[in-house]
Amino acid sequence: MLNKEKVILMTRMTAYEKGKGKENLRIGTYFRSDYIWAAILKAVFAITFAFIVGLALYIYYNYEVFLENIYEMDIISLLLSFRKYYFIVLIIYVALAYIVAFVKYALASSGIRKYKSNLKKIRKLQKGQ
């Protein structure tokens, strides 16, 4: 005889596993600090790459001006100016990446706790039969 409550729980868990649960269970394989540091590391690489591309595009766009004034320019102060903006953008982006990773991990942990609770309920229902 089928237990209606068991079927409902198993259906709910299968839907979770195929939907949000797929990502949540992947996130759940990490420790919180590891997951957050991985997100921060990705953010640092992404912003560094974006800043290098942006700097190259800026130089490409103003290439003629650079060539005309290359000897009169203070390249050191220009690079220091770019470095200042890089670190400002980097700090903001890393802070946002930290917040997003922290919230994603917290939500995933909550979903996984509910999932494990449902597994325990199913085990109890199986032992009761």
Judged against a pLDDT cut of 70, whether residue 1 lies above it is answered with no
Share of the chain above pLDDT 90, in %: 44
Give the count of beta carbons closer than 10 Å to the beta carbon of residue 118.
16
Per residue in 48-92, pLDDT (tens digit) is 999 999 889 988 998 888 888 888 888 888 888 889 999 999 999
Strand residues in 29-76 grouped as ranges (E)? none
Q: What's the gap between Cα 101 and its chain centre?
A: 5
Residues with Cβ within 8 Å of residue 125, at least 6 apart in sequence? 3, 5, 6, 9
Instruction: Give, in degrees to the nearest 5, the angle at Cα 23 between 20 and 25.
Output: 100
Higher confidence at residue 102 or residue 123? 102
Q: What's the gap between Cα 56 and its chain centre?
A: 27
pTM: 0.77
Q: Output the average pLDDT for the chain.
A: 89
What is the extent of the structural domain holding 42? 4-128
Number of separate domains in the chain: 1
Per residue in 9-39, pLDDT (tens digit) is 888 888 888 888 889 889 989 999 999 999 9
